[in-house]
Amino acid sequence: MDKIKNILMVGVGGQGIITASDILSEAALLDGHDVKKSEIHGMSQRGGSVFAHIRYGKKVYSPTIKTGEADVLLSLELIETVRWLSYANEKTKVILSETKIQPQTVKEYPESVIDSLKKKFKDFYLVNPIEINKQNGSHKVLNTTLLGVLSNLLEISDKSWEKAMENLVPKGTYESNLSAFSLGKKLFS
């Protein structure tokens, strides 16, 4: 594979973007790719907008994705999807977990975000987190299910995904994460 894969994960501080992006990066690495990942974190980001760029392929230079060049945009929050759209093009595949996080200072949450997005993208995967949490029996592994959805769009081996999870999820949660991942894999396959 000569073409670099660009995945942008976005959400709000505290939603678990960093761990989810670590798992993807590790899986890509285990599959033999060169990987670069860039994120902005730090305490000033608590409750703020958080993102992680993951790029993998034969040889990756920039740790950041260029404007309009994300292959996949995985978003954990509605309005964050909109905020980072400049990295997408009409071929970008969008995975969106339908969560709204409204800061204290904001009076009104913008309407019709999903409809506007649906019109723009051919590949649009909408995930209902309440449903998923019900099926997983826990809200703690939602992001793993999203990674499962994502795995359908990338050519990373199951073995590498599994090993990456084994390496990175908290002790004693591997089994629950594994089944959450399979759920996501089945959802849109």
Partner 1 sequence: MGIIKLETKDKKRKVTNNRMTNKNLLSGNEAIARGAYEAGVKVGVGYPGTPSTEILENFTKYEDVVTEWSVNEKVAMEVGLGSALAGKRTLVTMKHVGLNVAADPLFTASYIGANAGMVVVVADDPDLHSSQNEQDSRHYARAAKVPMLEPSDSQEAKEFVRYACELSEGFDTPIFLRSVTRISHSKTVVAFEPKLNYEHDKGFEKENIKKHVMIPAFARQRHFVVEDRMKALEEFSNRIEINRIEKGKGEIAFVTAGLCYNYVKEVFPEADIFKIGMVYPLPMRNLLEFCKGYEKVYVVEELDPFIEDQLKARGANNIVGKEILPVTGEYSPELIYTAITGNKFKGMEVGIKPFARPPMLCPGCPHAQTFNAMNKLGLTVSGDIGCYTLGTLPPYSAMHACVDMGASIPFAQGIELAQGSEFKHDVVAVIGDSTFAHSGITGLINAAYNKRRILVIVLDNSTTAMTGMQPNPFNGSTITGEETVVIDYQKLAEAIGIKKDNFRTVTAYKEEIISETIQELLAKKELCLMVVTGPCLIYKRKKEKNNG
Alpha-carbon distance of 136 to 145, in angstroms, equals 9
- Note whether 19 binds partner 1 by CB under 8 A: no
Alpha-carbon distance of 73 to 53, in angstroms, equals 10
Q: According to CB under 8 A, which one of 51, 87, 161, 181 is a site residue for partner 1? A: 87
Question: Near partner 1 by CB under 8 A, which window of 40-48, 130-138, 154-162, 170-178?
Answer: 40-48
**Beta strand 5-12 with 93-97: parallel, antiparallel or unpaired?**
unpaired
- Note whether 88 binds partner 1 by CB under 8 A: yes
Q: Pattern 93-132, binding to partner 1, x per CB under 8 A?
A: ----------xxxx---x--x--xx-xx------------
Alpha-carbon distance of 122 to 77, in angstroms, equals 19
What residues form DSSP beta bridges with 124? 94
What minimum distance in Å lies between the beta carbon of 13 and partner 1?
8
If the CB atoms of residues 96 and 132 are measured against partner 1, the closer one turns out to be 96
- Note whether 92 binds partner 1 by CB under 8 A: yes
What minimum distance in Å lies between the beta carbon of 125 and partner 1?
16
Alpha-helix runs per DSSP H in the chain: 17-30, 78-83, 113-120, 129-136, 142-151, 158-168, 174-187
Q: Give me the amino acid identity at 37.
A: K
What minimum distance in Å lies between the beta carbon of 35 and partner 1?
6
Q: Give me the amino acid identity at 169.
A: V
Tokens of 39: 């994120």
Residues that bind partner 1 (CB under 8 A): 12, 22, 25-26, 29, 34-49, 60-64, 66-69, 79-80, 82-83, 85-90, 92, 103-106, 110, 113, 116-117, 119-120
